[in-house]
Amino acid sequence: MKKIKEDTLLTKIVDCNALFTLNNRKVDLIGGKPYIYAEPYYERVFNSKKDFAVFQTIKRKGSRPLLFVKLFRFNTCLKKDEVMEFITINGYRYRIKNSYKPNCDGYLLGKIRRKDIKNLIRSDISSIKIITFDRDYEFHLEKAEAERIKDEFQCLKSKRFKFK
């Protein structure tokens, strides 16, 4: 029998089923497939009183995890390039590509690779930056929000959800 050291004990248990909700109604399917989603984050732009955005993690059946973002500012144009960055406390930047078509409605849909999820889980996320044609938007995260994002990414990486 192995002796358990103090540093190998679990410090936090995350209930993945409580974090995500399954949506399999035929009217709401994304691309004809059911999906799971987490509760959205409502974030205010740093140094702005009226600009904000909604962030939400989504996973469709048979695809990579997605991060859906909606910027609430009139005529915010996004291109189909690397337009979103996760910035860590150490200063590392993980760029996410927009897989949604170029638009001026403020919609962004980023596919997150397993490699990026692995790196983001290991590091502490301090802010999220979105690059548009007009200006850059930076959202500073509190410690609890950053931990919740890491928990969601951990669940999406390791848990196999049952899609009906």
Interval 53-111: pLDDT, tens: 999 998 887 788 889 999 988 888 888 887 899 999 988 999 998 888 888 888 898 88
Name 80's bridge partners: none
Mean of pLDDT values over 44-50: 85
pLDDT at 4 over 50: no
DSSP E strand stretches across the chain: 20-23, 35-38, 41-44, 52-60, 65-72, 82-88, 93-97, 107-111, 125-131, 136-140
Q: Which two tokens stand for residue 144?
A: 């609890």
Which pLDDT tens digit goes with each residue over 111-122? 888 888 888 888
* Greater pLDDT, 59 or 128: 128
pLDDT at 8 over 50: no
Neighbouring residues of 101: CB distance < 8 A, sequence distance ≥ 6: 80
* Greater pLDDT, 23 or 38: 38
pLDDT at 39 over 70: yes
pLDDT of residue 9: 43
pLDDT of residue 130: 92
Name 1's bridge partners: none
As a whole number, the mean pLDDT across the chain is 82
Q: In what order do the strands lie in the sheet with 82-88?
A: 93-97, 82-88, 125-131, 136-140
Percent of all residues in the chain with a pLDDT value above 90, rounded to a whole number? 20
H-assigned helices in 28-142? 114-122
pLDDT at 30 over 80: no
Confidence band, pLDDT 50/70/90 cuts, at residue 129: very high
Question: Between the ranges 12-16, 56-60, 140-144, where is the mean pLDDT highest?
Answer: 140-144
H-assigned helices in 54-142? 114-122
